[in-house]
C-alpha cells in the first residue's frame, strides 16, 4: 500500500497537519479532505518516488565489454546500430 503525504491547506491546523504527515492508503482510496486529528482541511502533496537500486550490473553484463571473437563464441549478434537522424 502506498504512503501519501498531506499538509493543512487552510489557516486552522493542529501540530499534526501543520507539518507534513503520512497516511497509508490504497491507490483507489479517496484522498483525505480533513485532518484525522483536528478536522482542518488538508491537501495531498506530490512527493518524490522512492527508487532503490540493489546493486550495479556486473561488468560482464554491461555493453561493449566483449571482443568480436568472444562475441562469436558466445553467439552474440552485432552490437547497436549507428544512431540515425530522420528528417
Write down the pLDDT at residue 42. 92
Instruction: At 72, list the grid cell.
Output: 562469436
Torsion, Cα of 32, 37, 42, 46 (10° steps)? -70
What is the residue whose three cell numbers read 554491461? 62
Q: How far apart are CA 18 and CA 9, in angstroms?
A: 9
Q: Can you give the pLDDT at residue 87? A: 46
d(CA 37, CA 16): 7
Higher-confidence position of 80 and 29: 29
pLDDT digits (tens, 9 = 90+) for 11-60: 888 888 888 888 888 888 899 898 888 888 999 887 777 777 677 767 66
* Boundaries of every domain in the chain: 3-45
Amino acid at each position: 500500500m502506498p504512503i501519501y503525504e498531506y499538509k493543512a491547506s487552510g489557516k486552522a491546523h493542529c501540530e499534526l497537519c501543520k507539518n507534513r504527515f503520512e497516511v497509508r492508503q490504497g491507490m483507489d482510496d479517496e484522498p483525505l479532505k480533513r485532518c484525522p486529528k483536528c478536522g482542518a482541511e488538508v491537501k495531498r502533496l506530490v512527493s518524490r518516488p522512492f527508487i532503490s537500486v540493489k546493486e550495479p550490473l556486473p561488468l560482464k553484463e554491461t555493453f561493449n565489454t566483449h571482443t568480436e571473437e568472444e562475441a562469436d563464441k558466445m553467439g552474440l549478434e552485432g552490437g547497436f546500430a549507428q544512431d540515425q537522424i530522420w528528417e
